[in-house]
């Protein structure tokens, strides 16, 4: 039997997240800001404590027991990441601070080594600023040119237009897997296939995909794939850059310092092998170990079950919000993850967010670090409800009741 066919254990899941029983001004917390950061299950919180209480020391360079115990736990987490992504080797899994650092690493290291004046980097309108600015910086340094794939009025990534942008000048395609502002799922497999047919490398920003979709970097044939731990129910300050080994091997280090060297003299320094070549300095040891627990937790529920649950929430929320006259949903692509952006006529999104907060409902308002998306729809901002594996239809009802109160206040 598929795991989606088994009843989704929502009560047990909610009880795994201590913060969900908190109240906000006497009202139950309704947490719908998972796109910004997800809450943490007890297993992750406990793993952080356990690390500091029983297995903490600096990693890799100690001969003593505790250092080896911490190193073993950290490297076990790397193996966990490897299976999570279906990477060919743990050498392809680099620990970084988050998706932003992963993209900066690739733009700086791969970009400076491989881009020259006139080369093209293809991005899309859907990108988070973290997948725009690092490429602009390297374009400025190298003379490379940025091309942008447009989206349609539903927020769909336009594959035809994308294909027209590809040419022998295209050296890198860097696109999001799921739009954080609209929820659009980008057909990244096809994006990668077409890029490779033109000889370009591909980076996928998987920040908003990792909590919702099963990721298989080998099936996708991705060259680089990044995600952040904190959106995947893990700690903040830790993330992963997956890179194809042959590419990572050829890339120069990003930062210099401890951990990433083989031998240092004032005359010449040689670098450590992968993955350590890209992990300068003491890493976020407890964060890495607890990221392994977050992956265990999410996979314990199963992506099929999570996707079915979140799809139900998204469909239900879309239907209920579409039934409210003054609400305009922004982002109506047929393939979406559980993100719902909307506006209420004549009410600024920040006012909507503030009024919802009086009822304990946490949504995000603003440009969501995706100003080109806002510009595409000629909007300064939207309200964004983003659902996670612990949200419920009752919470969607609370959101709808909150929106109705906003409407009444501004009528």
The nearest distance, CB 228 to ligand PLP, in angstroms, is 3
Only segment of 115-123, 201-209, 348-356, 390-398 that touches ligand PLP (CB under 6 A): 201-209
Binding range to ligand PLP, per CB under 6 A, among 70-78, 138-146, 165-173, 203-211: 203-211
Structure tokens at 129: 């600023």
Is residue 170 within 8 A of residue 200, CB to CB? The reply is: yes
Residue 264 CB, shortest distance to ligand PLP, in Å, is: 30
Q: How far is CA 350 from the centre of its chain?
A: 24
Among 228, 293, 343, 365, binds ligand PLP (CB under 6 A): 228
Active-site annotation holder among 4, 369, 379, 400: 369
Q: Which of 45, 207, 232, 344: binder of ligand PLP (CB under 6 A)? A: 207
8 A C-beta contact, residue 251 and residue 114: no
Does 99 interact with ligand PLP (rule: CB under 6 A)? yes
* By CB under 6 A, residue 71 contacts ligand PLP: no
CA angle (142 as vertex; 140, 144 as ends), nearest 5 = 80
Assess whether 369 carries a catalytic annotation.
Answer: yes
Return the range that interacts with ligand PLP (CB under 6 A); candidates 20-28, 94-102, 250-258, 321-329: 94-102
- Let me know: does 125 contact 376? Beta carbons within 8 Å: yes
Q: Give the three-class secondary structure for 282.
A: coil
Specify the residue, 55 or 205, whose C-beta has the smaller distance to ligand PLP: 205
Candidate residues 208, 341, 365, 386; the one interacting with ligand PLP per rule CB under 6 A? 208
Q: Of 60, 91, 128, 309, which one interacts with ligand PLP (CB under 6 A)?
A: 128
Torsion angle, CA of 374/380/385/389, rounded to 10 degrees? 40
Distance of CA 249 to the CA centre of its chain: 25
DSSP label of 116: -
Q: Which position among 16, 39, 93, 98 is part of the footprint of ligand PLP (CB under 6 A)?
A: 98
- Give every CB contact of residue 7 below 8 A, 6+ residues apart in sequence: none
The Cα 149–Cα 170 span in angstroms is: 13
The values of phi and psi at residue 202, to 5°, are: -135, 130
Single out the residue of 215, 284, 219, 274 nearest to residue 245, CA to CA: 274
Which one of the spans 60-68, 128-136, 270-278, 345-353 is the region binding ligand PLP (CB under 6 A)? Answer: 128-136
Query: For binding to ligand PLP (CB under 6 A), which residues are involved?
Result: 98-100, 128, 130-131, 176, 180, 205, 207-208, 228, 369
Catalytic residues: 369
């Amino acid at each position: 039997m598929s795991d989606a066919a088994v009843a989704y254990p929502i009560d047990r899941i909610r009880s795994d997240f201590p913060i969900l029983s908190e109240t906000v001004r006497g009202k139950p917390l309704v947490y719908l800001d998972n796109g910004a950061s997800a809450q943490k299950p007890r297993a992750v919180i406990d793993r952080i404590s356990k690390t500091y209480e029983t297995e903490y020391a600096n990693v890799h360079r100690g001969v003593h027991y505790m250092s080896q115990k911490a190193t073993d736990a950290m490297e076990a987490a790397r193996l966990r990441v490897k299976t999570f992504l279906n990477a060919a080797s743990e050498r392809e899994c680099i620990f970084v601070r988050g998706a932003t650092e992963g993209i900066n690493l690739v733009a700086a290291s791969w970009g400076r080594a491989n881009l020259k004046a006139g080369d093209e980097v293809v991005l899309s309108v859907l990108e988070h600023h973290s997948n725009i600015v690092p490429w602009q910086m390297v374009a400025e340094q190298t003379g490379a040119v940025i091309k942008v794939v447009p989206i349609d009025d539903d927020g769909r990534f336009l594959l035809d237009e994308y294909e027209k942008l590809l040419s022998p000048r295209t050296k890198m395609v860097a696109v999001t897997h799921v739009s954080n502002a609209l929820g659009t799922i980008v057909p990244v497999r096809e994006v990668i296939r077409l890029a490779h047919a033109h000889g370009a490398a591909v980076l996928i920003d998987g920040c908003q995909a990792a909590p919702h979709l099963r990721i298989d970097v080998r099936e996708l044939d991705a060259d680089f794939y990044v995600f952040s731990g904190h959106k995947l129910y893990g700690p903040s300050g830790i993330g992963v850059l997956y890179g194809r080994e042959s590419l990572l091997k050829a890339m120069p280090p990003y930062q210099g310092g401890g951990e990433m060297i083989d031998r240092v003299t004032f005359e010449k320094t040689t670098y450590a092998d992968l993955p350590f070549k890209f992990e300068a300095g003491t890493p976020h040891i407890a964060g890495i170990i607890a990221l392994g627990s977050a992956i265990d937790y999410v996979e314990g529920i199963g992506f099929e079950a999570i996707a079915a649950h979140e799809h139900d929430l998204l469909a239900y929320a879309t239907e209920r919000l579409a039934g409210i006259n003054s609400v305009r949903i922004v982002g109506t692509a047929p393939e979406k993850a559980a993100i719902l952006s909307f506006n209420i006529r004549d009410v600024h999104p920040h006012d909507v967010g503030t009024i919802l907060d009086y009822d304990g409902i946490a949504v995000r308002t603003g440009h969501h670090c995706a100003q080109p998306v806002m510009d595409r729809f000629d909007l300064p901002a939207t309200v964004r409800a983003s659902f996670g594996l612990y949200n419920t239809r009752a919470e969607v009802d609370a959101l709808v009741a909150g929106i109705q109160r906003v409407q009444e206040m501004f009528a």
